[in-house]
Structure formats: structure tokens, C-alpha cells
């Protein structure tokens, strides 16, 4: 995953490459450069960080980090489902706790939140990540950010390059404008942002932006893995 990406060089007499292919190659190269920049920043802060070009490589990394037969807590993460971790971890004998089962009543859902946080590994994504390696998240119930902030288990983040932001303020705006509206629609929550497609900093009782966590470093004593993926994943 760490090999340098080099663009195809055109020499005299060569057939001109397809412009679309050149564009895609350049885009992959740019994503890798940015991803590796973020990985270096994360590593300097004490995170165990790596870059994966594709979601398939990211899944391989997850399966390498999480041993077979362990318990894994997976909160409401679209990214983790997009890379196929749910199915593969199950095939590896892992016991998965999650609260996305539609038939759960409120008491069962709260218990699922607790089970997720108490698992051997916590596998999630991040709403945004800054170029200098800070993880930024906004939560409604607080179950996800609380498990990110503290637990005595290792945590593994899988983050698509689309979530990379120059700084904290840009990251917060990205979450509120680009992640929260589709998430509210997915959860069938009647929020003002779900009607206009961007944040209006509402005071609605249904507001889903309630708790903000900015993780500058891994919390003390906790092994924190971060896999940056050179593809768009999640919101």
C-alpha cells in the first residue's frame, strides 16, 4: 500500500493516452499524495496510521488488525458497511454488536450501544479528518463520540479521502452541510437540514448535531488505528 504512485510519461512517438484515463490516474495520484500526507500527520501524533488505495485494501487492513473470533462493535457507520466489513468479520467468526436492527425497541438499542462500546474492538469511521491529522465528529445521541473518546478497547477508523478537510472549521462545516442532511434522511428524522439540503443551525427538537468531538491525539493508553482510503466512502 505504500508504493509511490507515478503518472504515465508520454515520450515522442507514443500513442496519446485516453484523456479520461489520464484524468483518473491523476486523480488517484492526488488522492494518494493527500492520504499519505494525512497518514504522516497522524503517525506523528501517535495514531497507528496507514493508507489504502481502495476499499478492498482497506478491508484487508481491517481483517489484519482485528483477530478472528473477537467481538466487534460497529456503530452507525455507512463506510464500514460499504467496505464489506460486516460480512467478512462474520465469516471470520467475529461476534458483531450493532444497533441498526430496525426491529429493536429503545431499550434494546441502548443496550446495543453499550455492547458496541464494550466489544474487544470498536470499528467505525469519522465524519471528517483534517490535513494535520485531527478527527472531527458530530453526534446526536452521543453513543458514538463517547465510545471514540474513551473505552479500554482498541479502536479502528476507516476514513474515505472525501472526508479530508483543511482545518477544523472546514471539517465542521463539511459535516453539517454534507453529512448531516443525508444522514437525517436515512434515519427518517424530520430536521430543517433534511428539507433544504444544508445546515441552518436549527433549534429543532429533532436536531441531530448535538455533541462535537475533536480528537487531537489518541486518548491515553488506547491503541487507535486509522486507515485512510483513496476512495469516496460514507457521507
Q: Is 178 helix (H, G, I), strand (E, B) or coil?
A: helix
Q: Is 129 helix (H, G, I), strand (E, B) or coil?
A: strand
Backbone angles phi, psi at 157, to 5 degrees: -105, 135
**Tens digits of residue pLDDT in 33-80:** 999 999 999 999 999 999 999 999 999 999 999 999 999 999 989 999
pLDDT, residue 1, reads: 46
Domain spans of the chain? 25-229
- 25-229 CATH choice from 3.40.50.10420, 3.40.640.10, 1.10.3720.10, 1.10.260.40: 3.40.50.10420
Return the DSSP state at 177. Answer: I
pLDDT, residue 2, reads: 46
Q: What is the mean pLDDT of residues 169-183?
A: 94
Beta bridge partners of 95: 71
Q: What is the mean pLDDT of residues 139-158?
A: 94
Instruction: Please tell me the pTM assigned to this model.
Output: 0.89
Please say whether the beta carbons of 190 and 100 come within 8 A: no
Backbone angles phi, psi at 224, to 5 degrees: -125, 110
Amino acid at each position: 500500500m505504500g508504493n509511490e504512485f507515478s503518472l504515465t510519461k508520454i515520450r515522442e512517438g507514443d500513442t496519446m493516452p485516453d484523456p479520461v484515463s489520464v484524468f483518473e490516474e491523476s486523480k488517484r495520484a492526488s488522492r494518494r499524495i493527500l492520504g499519505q500526507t494525512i497518514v504522516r500527520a497522524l503517525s506523528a501524533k501517535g495514531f497507528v496510521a496507514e493508507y489504502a488505495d481502495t476499499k478492498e485494501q482497506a478491508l484487508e487492513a481491517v481483517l489484519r488488525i482485528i483477530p478472528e473470533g473477537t467481538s466487534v462493535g460497529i456503530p452507525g457507520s455507512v463506510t464500514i458497511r460499504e467496505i464489506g466489513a460486516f460480512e467478512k468479520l462474520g465469516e471470520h467468526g467475529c461476534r458483531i454488536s450493532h444497533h441498526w436492527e430496525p426491529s429493536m425497541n429503545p431499550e434494546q438499542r441502548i443496550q446495543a450501544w453499550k455492547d458496541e462500546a464494550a466489544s474487544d474492538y470498536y470499528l467505525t469511521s469519522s465524519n471528517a479528518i483534517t490535513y494535520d491529522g485531527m478527527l472531527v465528529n458530530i453526534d446526536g445521541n452521543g453513543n458514538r463520540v463517547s465510545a471514540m473518546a474513551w473505552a479500554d478497547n482498541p479502536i479502528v477508523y476507516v476514513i474515505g479521502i472525501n472526508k479530508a478537510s483543511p482545518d477544523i472549521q472546514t471539517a465542521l462545516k463539511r459535516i453539517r452541510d454534507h453529512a448531516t442532511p443525508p444522514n437525517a434522511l436515512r434515519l427518517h428524522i424530520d430536521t430543517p437540514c433534511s428539507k433544504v439540503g444544508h445546515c441552518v443551525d436549527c433549534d429543532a427538537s429533532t436536531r441531530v448535531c448535538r455533541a462535537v468531538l475533536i480528537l487531537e491525539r489518541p486518548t491515553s493508553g488506547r491503541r487507535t488505528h486509522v486507515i485512510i482510503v483513496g476512495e469516496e466512502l460514507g457521507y
